[in-house]
A and B are shown apart, each in its own frame.
Chain A
Amino acid sequence: MSALKLKLRAAPPRRIDLAQLVPGKLAGLSVAEIEKLVVAQGADKLVVGDCFAVSGEAGDTIHFEGGSDKFESVGAENAGGLIVVDGHAGANAGRRMKSGRLDILGNAGDYLASNLRGGLIVVGGSAGAHLGGPHSGEKDGMAGGNVVVKGNTGELSGERMRRGSIIVKGSMGRDAGARMMGGTIFGEQGLSAGAGVQMRRGTLIGPTLYPASATFVDCGTHELLILKIMAAYWAKTLEDLAPPPMPAAPRRLMGDMASLGKGEILLTAG
């Protein structure tokens, strides 16, 4: 498997748009051609060669040596292959990605996995607000794929989510799963205030929820077969990144009764 390496020369002076640096769009380009791709428009235009020392050849893997919160849209619309960022990434990382894998070893900015369609995104650090969420004016959020954040997330993770899974190993900001319509959000350290607000369908999972919303109703503790199927899917897809085993019978809260009310919050600590 061939790899393209982009070694960061110095901290970018301003935000640079890396959306075109995905395996599918670089296929067939030489290093010289890649170095000429524009990553920042304007009077002080920047090209790839200004920001990175490029080596290797375009193929299935792109390796950013070094990262920055000014890396905009890294891995956006990726349709296959592996992208690794050895550091932080800025906003819109993995936005509208269709397949493949994006590994960010540091933190990710706002709108990580916005409108994600498929594939896997793994963040070694924390992620900002609106994880998987839609941009202003867009109808839907995340519609497929899997996101694993090993650190914490900001507010409104999974907003207007339709499908896919978000797994957060750390703590989640408020209003996770707001206006959710499907999919699964698993907060391994628990869910915060506003979780599931206005959700219509979908599943939020966590050991605890504090404070619980008055518009979610307690349906008791139940053995849910779908959790076994989900656990098997995560174990196969995420391997060691999969969430920990869930108890046989979590507590099921249904809601948001202020909306359609067919969503659920599953509390694994009872």
Chain B
Amino acid sequence: MSEGNETNTAAPITRNGIIIDDTFAEAFGMSGTGIIITADTAKWARQSAVTMTGFGTSVIGCGAECGIDYEVAADKTPDGRPGVRVLIFGFAPNMVEDQLKNRVGQCVLTSPGSACFNGLESSTRISLSGGPRFFGDGWQTARKLGGVRYWRVPVMDGEFVIEDKAGVTTEAVGGGNFLVIGKDRAGVLQTCERAVEAIADVADVITPFPGGVVRSGSKVGSKYGAPASTNQAFCPVLRGAVDSELGPDDKCVLEIVIDGLTSQAVGEAMRAGLKAALEAGPQHGVTRISAGNYGGNLGQHHYHLKDYLP
């Protein structure tokens, strides 16, 4: 999140009674992959996906940023069963590969009736089966069909089928964001929920934090040497003690962070999220929308809020 947002001296931009700061979200280049998890029912496909994307909010602390992109209809999956597309982001392809190995091995392989397939076409590929197939202890077998290799791993409810490789892109973007600021904590959260629901309709993006919403926006560094710490400029309870970014009536700031497989997808998600938040209106106590940045010198991707307004 932001550290020293640019000072706004121009006339404020407003939409539906809400002020939009003339600032930008600063995001970073990342590597990302997509996989399709299927199961006998949509419930169990989603259960497996929820489990494997757990503890996947921040790449710094979790090793990856993960989330469910969308549900896949049975007639669109390789095995004709209901599925869920999951996205995983990391700093580099090998980092994403390591995360796949652990998360698929512990959370998809173990889930009743599950199977796991590539969910991103790309010329660059990483191992998807590299860890889980060895669970077969020598009983695993491969089947190559038209250039795609599948592994069959015997398990207690039949066979776990997993595709050998997954596509990966280094054109992904992590850290698209905007801040919802207001005078009513419950109302700000409701507004964020609407924004997250709108973003969920955009393909190739996830909002990796709990329910898509972050309440602990951070700045870089810490007096204790940690890589990140609370961003006091946006903490309402410190308003009188620090160089605050908040107004006298602001009681709550929540952030929505967006990761996407492309910069375009992140932009579309920013647009969808902002539209939903602004349409919710000031009646929920939302007074202002801002964005997190680091002065523009760290992240390669800048999303100026004014360019994504309805």
Within 8 Å of chain A (Cβ to Cβ): is B150?
Answer: yes
With the chains together, A226 CA to B139 CA distance in Å? 15
Within 8 Å of chain A (Cβ to Cβ): is B12?
Answer: no
With the chains together, A262 CA to B139 CA distance in Å? 7
Within 8 Å of chain B (Cβ to Cβ): is A225?
Answer: yes
Bitwise, B112-129 to A at CB < 8 A (1) or not (0) is 000100000000000000
Q: Known contacts A225-B158, A225-B159; can you find 13 more A-B pairs with CB under 8 A?
A: A144-B144, A165-B145, A182-B142, A184-B143, A222-B158, A224-B159, A226-B152, A226-B159, A226-B161, A229-B145, A230-B143, A232-B80, A233-B146
Bitwise, A147-164 to B at CB < 8 A (1) or not (0) is 000000000000000010
Q: How far is the CB of B265 from chain A (nearest CB, A)?
A: 28
Residues of A contacting B171 with CB < 8 Å?
Answer: none
B residues contacting A by CB (< 8 A) are: 78-81, 115, 139, 141-146, 150, 152, 158-159, 161
With the chains together, A229 CA to B152 CA distance in Å? 12
Residues of B contacting A228 with CB < 8 Å?
Answer: 79-81
> Do B144 and A226 touch across chains, with their CB atoms under 8 A apart?
no
With the chains together, A52 CA to B278 CA distance in Å? 76
A interface SS class: mixed
With the chains together, A230 CA to B144 CA distance in Å? 10
Residues of B contacting A218 with CB < 8 Å?
Answer: none
Residues of A contacting B141 with CB < 8 Å?
Answer: 201, 262
Report the nearest B residue to A219, measured CB to CB: B154
With the chains together, A45 CA to B105 CA distance in Å? 64
With the chains together, A100 CA to B76 CA distance in Å? 27
Q: Which of B143, B144, B145, B159 has the most CB of A within 10 A?
A: B145
Report the nearest B residue to A264, measured CB to CB: B141
Contact sample, A vs B, 21 pairs, CB 8 Å cutoff: A163-B144, A165-B145, A182-B143, A182-B144, A201-B141, A223-B158, A224-B158, A225-B79, A225-B115, A225-B161, A226-B143, A226-B152, A229-B78, A229-B143, A229-B145, A230-B143, A230-B145, A232-B78, A232-B79, A233-B145, A262-B139
Report the nearest A residue to B152, measured CB to CB: A226
Report the nearest B residue to A164, measured CB to CB: B144
Bitwise, A189-232 to B at CB < 8 A (1) or not (0) is 00000000000010100000000000000000011111011101
Within 8 Å of chain B (Cβ to Cβ): is A259?
Answer: no
Residues of B contacting A163 with CB < 8 Å?
Answer: 144
With the chains together, A237 CA to B144 CA distance in Å? 14
Q: How far is the CB of B143 from chain A (nearest CB, A)?
A: 6
Residues of B contacting A184 with CB < 8 Å?
Answer: 143
Contacting residues of chain A (175-197) with chain B, CB-CB under 8 angstroms: 182, 184
